[in-house]
Structure 1
Amino acid sequence: MSRLPSLLPDDPTAPFPPVEQALRQPDGLLAVGGDLSPTRLLNAYRHGIFPWYSPGQPILWWSPDPRTVFLTDGVRLSSKFRRALRSSTWTVRADTDFAGVIEACATIPRRGQRGTWITRDMRAAYRQLHSLGHAHSIEVFDADRLVGGIYGVGVGRMFFGESMFSAVSGGSKVALAALAWHLRDWGWPLIDAQVENDHLLSLGARQWPRERFVARVSDLCNDPGLQGVWTARLGDWPAARLAEPQATRRTGA
């Protein structure tokens, strides 16, 4: 008989089961139920666990093996894309339109996907995390138009990427590369990308065994971080900087 995932208690401070108990099929399913309170979400991230479920399902908690990650000095932008960025007038900002980024991630159609896993409850939960200084967005603007972005959760010196979008081709690449640029400068070495796909792999994502990932996350989450709004740290940052020669080293291209 197949083993079932653990049922979480109502208490948001209750510990998650050990990630080693996650199912092999479907890969990484660890627990069911609970809530999306800040306490439970932050506890999940600190242990290498994240929520992922579709409308009509209970909350499902995952810790897949292997885990998809980016090194902050390992995001790859092609030479062709960097050349195009030399004349770009796009601007990158942080935490100026978190709601717009998460809404776009939830609603912009994606090839091969129907609907979204970013439910209304998920959006509300991450907006609350943002208001508490834990969730952040990197936004790419063409003048006043939001053309790309990424959002996720920062704990200690660890960034857990949740989703990114492009309203114009290349918008998500710029958001990811700019995020990696700044995290590297701040001494944050790793971005969690959760589950692999061809697009992430083309940008330099790699696979880590879950045991290695969880051990690294435990160390990084216990370090001092940068809780609070990141807007002033980035200012209006020109996307064209990603085309500079030093960006080749910084983004691993």
Structure 2
Amino acid sequence: MNSLSYLNHLPHFPDPKQALTDPNGLLAVGGDLTPQRLVEAYYQGIFPWFNEDDPILWWSPDPRATFTPKTYALSKSTHKFMKKCSWRFTINQAFTDVILACSAPRKTQQGTWISSDIQQAYIQLHQLGKAHSIEVWDKDELVGGLYGIAVGSVFCGESMFHTKTNASKVAFAVLNQHLVKHEFKLIDAQIMNPHLENLGAIELPRYDFLSQLKQLRNQAIDDKTWLTQEVRFEF
């Protein structure tokens, strides 16, 4: 087992291949959540994940949960639902509201890893044009959404939420459609869970994920990709 690295004030990380096997993917401890460090982390396939009372923990798990953006095949029930619903969808219109909603504890959880420090760090990334959100609205009520980081033609998903049934599934479908339109090649969903598996995520060995990331992270994306906008879902 490799030894754990402790970060200093510099934004550099150890090679992700040096991450521990137990706990799976833990790579480094400490550092900070400055935009420079966060951008460097995602560029290398590393992300922060820690409880509010813990030091900052940095991860690169093996395997990695991923999606390939494609014309999204909704389940029959969700497709039928969307045909009837009058929800509308936006990009980057309410990033702060989305991350706040994602930070609310789930019914099965006592707390949240999206602490106030995490919220402020990613809001700052959003203001710098690095972090983005998808919003689902029922009239003027925000009922679902997700947020993440764009690295070249890779979208690194962080969290999603819903307050009405199907709203997080719909948010992911809207994201997927948007990424296909703008020629993104990979969605990083980090760690597999039942919800991601139901959405169609597959696991990639870390070596394969990092190889794809290295090829895609410097690809140029249209400057208009992440303009604040309302979008239509195309069936």
1:71 aligns with one of 68, 71, 84: 68
Q: Give me the whole-angstrom Cα distance separating, in 2, the residues matched to 1:153 and 1:86.
A: 30
1:1-42 per-residue CA deviation (whole Å, 9 max, x = no partner) reads x65411011123xx2111111000000000000111111111
Mapping 1:110-189, distance limit 5 Å = 110-189=106-185
1:169-206 per-residue CA deviation (whole Å, 9 max, x = no partner) reads 11111111110101011110111100000111011000
Distance verdict in 2 for CA 1:21–1:74, change over 3 Å: farther
TM-superposed CA distance for 1:76, in Å, is 4.7
Distance verdict in 2 for CA 1:208–1:74, change over 3 Å: farther
CA RMSD of aligned residues (A): 1.6
Matched, 1:50 2:57: no
Q: Give me the whole-angstrom Cα distance separating, in 2, the residues matched to 1:46 and 1:231.
A: 22
1:92-116 per-residue CA deviation (whole Å, 9 max, x = no partner) reads 1011100000000001x42422210
Q: Give me the whole-angstrom Cα distance separating, in 2, the residues matched to 1:57 and 1:238.
A: 41
Partner of 1:251: none
TM-superposed CA distance for 1:75, in Å, is 5.0
Partner of 1:216: 212
Distance verdict in 2 for CA 1:226–1:59, change over 3 Å: farther
Aligned residues: 235
Partner of 2:191: 195
Q: Give me the whole-angstrom Cα distance separating, in 1, the residues matched to 2:54 and 2:80.
A: 44
1:49-89 per-residue CA deviation (whole Å, 9 max, x = no partner) reads 00000011000000000000011117552111101110111
Query: Is the contact between residue 48 and residue 59 of structure 2 (CA under 8 Å) also seen in structure 1?
Result: yes
TM-score (norm 1): 0.89
Mapping 1:25-44, distance limit 5 Å = 25-44=22-41
Distance verdict in 2 for CA 1:40–1:6, change over 3 Å: same
SS across alignment from 1:30:
strand
Query: Is the contact between residue 99 and residue 127 of structure 1 (CA under 8 Å) also seen in structure 2?
Result: yes
Query: Is the contact between residue 91 and residue 135 of structure 2 (CA under 8 Å) also seen in structure 1?
Result: yes
TM-score (norm 2): 0.95
Q: Give me the whole-angstrom Cα distance separating, in 1, the residues matched to 2:224 and 2:4.
A: 34
Partner of 1:95: 92
Distance verdict in 2 for CA 1:75–1:110, change over 3 Å: farther
1:127-166 per-residue CA deviation (whole Å, 9 max, x = no partner) reads 0000000000000001100000000001211110000000
Partner of 2:230: 236
